[in-house]
Structure 1
Amino acid sequence: MLVGNFLFWIVIIVVAVLIFRAFTQRPGPHNSGQPGWGTPPPPGSPGPGAEQILGERYARGEIDEDEYQRRLATLRGKPPGPTQS
């Protein structure tokens, strides 16, 4: 009877931990320890910078190189000009 009681509470604790983790972790196989989707960042922590977001859009192919360079120059306060290599 003591063993049955012990196993019952172990199962309850394991289920509670799994439910907690399911609601607090980002979905998908690539959990990097970041807050889940739709979770606001903790107070005082900076969000991703504009240049980082722009770089991610370029990497995903949403914008081409000319658009990337033009927007990057705008973010840095430089007049857009010919692309320098």
Structure 2
Amino acid sequence: MLSTATAIAVPAAVAAHPYAGGGGPGWWIVFPILWFLLFATVVFLIARRARRYGPPWARGGAGGVDVLGERYARGEIDEAEYRQRLAVLKEDRR
């Protein structure tokens, strides 16, 4: 225990305040609200991404078709080669 000689001096105005060190009435609700807002924001961003790009388990299959379409759009391959490679990719998916 602390003796009176080693005790920390607390100003009388602070010691007399009913909420000394507690931050006042109502601050107890702020942190749960902030945690809820953080959680809701994460859920919202995940849902928005899933709506925009589709669920993660459904996105992986068409990667080759996308690359093939980009190469055709850039002019790296002609239409005949595009259609031939597209047919091969569609066969592989089945």
TM-score interval, smaller chain: 0.3 to 0.5
TM-score with structure 1 length normalisation?
Answer: 0.41
TM-score with structure 2 length normalisation?
Answer: 0.38
**Is the radius of gyration larger for structure 1 or structure 2?**
2
